[in-house]
Amino acid sequence: MGARGSGMFWFAIFTWGGMVMFDVMGQKVLVTSPLGTVIGLSEKSVGGKPYAAFRGIPYAKPPTGSRRFMPPERLESWGEKLEAFRDGAECLQMDVLVTLNITGREDCLYLNVFTPITNETENLPVIFFIHGGGFISGSSNSLFYSPGYFMDEDVVLVTFNYRLGPLGFMSTEDKVMPGNMGLLDMIAALQWVQQNIRHFGGDPRAVTIMGESAGAGAVHHLILSPRARGLFRAAISESGSALCPWAVAEGHRRGAEGIASILGCPTMSSADLLLCLQQVPAEAIVGLSTKLWEWQYFPLLFGPRVDRETDGPVLPDEPINMMLEGCFSRVPWLTGINKDEGVLLALTPLGNETALKDLNERWEALCPLAMDFSFTTPVRCDRRSACNQIKTRYFRGKNISQDNASQLIEVFGDRWFKVCGVEAADLHSRFSPTYFYYFKGNGKRKFLDVLFAGPRQFLLNKSAEAHAGVGHGDDLLYLFDAKMIPPITTMEPMAFAIKNAFVRLWTDFATYLDPTPKGKEVELPSWPLYTEKKPYTYIIDAQPIVELGNIGEKRKTFWNSLPIQENNPLQTGF
């Protein structure tokens, strides 16, 4: 099939309800879909395989003006042709870790599709990735989430942006502004995948949702949400679940009124508050988040919430209730944690003498914020008791310093990721196939080296302990070939082995719903199902092994013994 006189020609790669065309001379890829024609670029995977990259595809109308704080609206068409060569703008956010600069745009609901260029006639399984960032920062920027490792395999990868912080999760705790816009963006992007991914070579019946950190918690929220039923068939959560203390935020009305009052907006009427905030600059709303922080960037006021008061809620009940009752999509779930999850959170006090001094001097006041139970433990004496028990267990009653930095990393890791990760796996396994992993392979690839590159490097230099171990987010560098650092090659044998294990396990799970499918030749040990009675854990290292035993049992016992209100099951609200 040719286009004479234009200096280019096209040939079909595969078809299913649409046609993917490849421009050999211009290295461009064209897809025709009901939304219009989209043109992408042909690129090479780390292993040298060709794939098509479509970046910056809008999946909803811009959430600006009267659409601010509202559910995303479906985009009917992008016009005759869309050149999808660059990432869409990241959603408006603040650099909470270092500069406090505001970046991004309010018009940010874009996704990327990466698909192998093959002669296969069958469409491929789809991995739908949700980025992390505490629901206040982050993006799907392919500078970091580059698909080069995944594109060595036969899968389609979708990455996307969703609204963050107050623009993504502000709520008046009523039907006027129920919140959860960020979660609704995720659902809208999944609906786009169901309607369009076959035109890009993907199978809408074989979608696996995957996320890390806040993205992992979001994956679990989507498992729980009745609004997301039928949009995926499997899930992967790396370092996070809906049971983690940060995964369901509290105090939304307080946050909305706090920002509104500073901006001179009325606060008595939710409708008046909404109308006013829809008319002020979005940057002003995001910038005022700092005014609500009591220490560092705590409390986290803008995140997912239980919106039972709405018609068609995203989260109709507390996650613990829904899990205990089996009210969720009973899909296979692969989930797990990293060895040193608390590294990123511990870095701020360890790298800042003033913050560390403040934490020691005001431990009883700051501990509930840092451990994120300031809302769930309203009685002051209970907070004091919980904090004293934490200090005794982890620090033997001593002040926190560089000498016991490993204990600060441990307490943050246990509270924020490990206990809630194990508990979620326990409950999910009662109803659905569950696979649990523990990542301990130190292949010298550090998420912090990417996150704090350039002028941020000074933070790492202040705490060698915080830079050691297998930290939060390190797993991402074995799944995505971040362009800020060289790709992993055989010159790094340990990192290369870990990368191969991660990519193989993850893509086989997305393809077969089993990370080590029977009958397929793999050089990895078989990964058995995880249950409460037989908690098999897959230890990911250069040479993975399987262990039987709950790695978080002692941690669970301690944290569940604390006088924290969230530890009482079947509550209807805090």
Structure tokens at 491: 């010159």
From 90, 153, 341, 410, the catalytic residue:
341
CA distance 313 to 225: 8
Active site residue 199: no
Of the candidates 42, 28, 35, 34, the residue with the CA atom closest to the CA atom of residue 57: 35
Which residues 6+ apart lie within 8 Å of 5 measured at CB? none
CA distance 323 to 535: 18
Active site residue 465: no
Helical ranges in 480-564 per DSSP H: 493-512, 553-561
In this structure, what are the phi and psi dihedrals at residue 365, rounded to the nearest 5 degrees? -85, -35
From 213, 225, 289, 374, the catalytic residue:
213
Instruction: Please write down the long-range contacts of 346-349, taking CB distance under 8 Å and 24 or more positions apart.
Output: 346/405, 346/408, 346/409, 346/412, 346/463, 346/466, 347/448, 347/459, 347/460, 347/463, 347/466, 348/97, 348/296, 348/459, 349/296, 349/400, 349/408
DSSP state of 416: I
CB 339 within 8 A of CB 212: no
- Rounded to 10 degrees, what is the CA torsion of 169, 172, 178, 180? 10
In this structure, what are the phi and psi dihedrals at residue 273, rounded to the nearest 5 degrees? -60, -45
Structure tokens at 375: 């809302």
Which residues 6+ apart lie within 8 Å of 476 measured at CB? 144, 145, 212, 238, 447, 482
Residue bearing tokens 């206990």:
419
CA distance 462 to 492: 27
Cα(first)–Cα(last) distance of the chain, in Å?
A: 64
Q: Each residue of 264-302: b (16+ CB within 10 Å) or e?
A: ebebeebeebbebbbebebeebbbbbeebeebbbbbbbb
Of the candidates 107, 111, 174, 100, the residue with the CA atom closest to the CA atom of residue 137: 100
Active site residue 220: no
From 221, 428, 467, 472, the catalytic residue:
472
Name beta bridge partners: 114.
53, 157
Catalytic site positions: 213, 341, 472
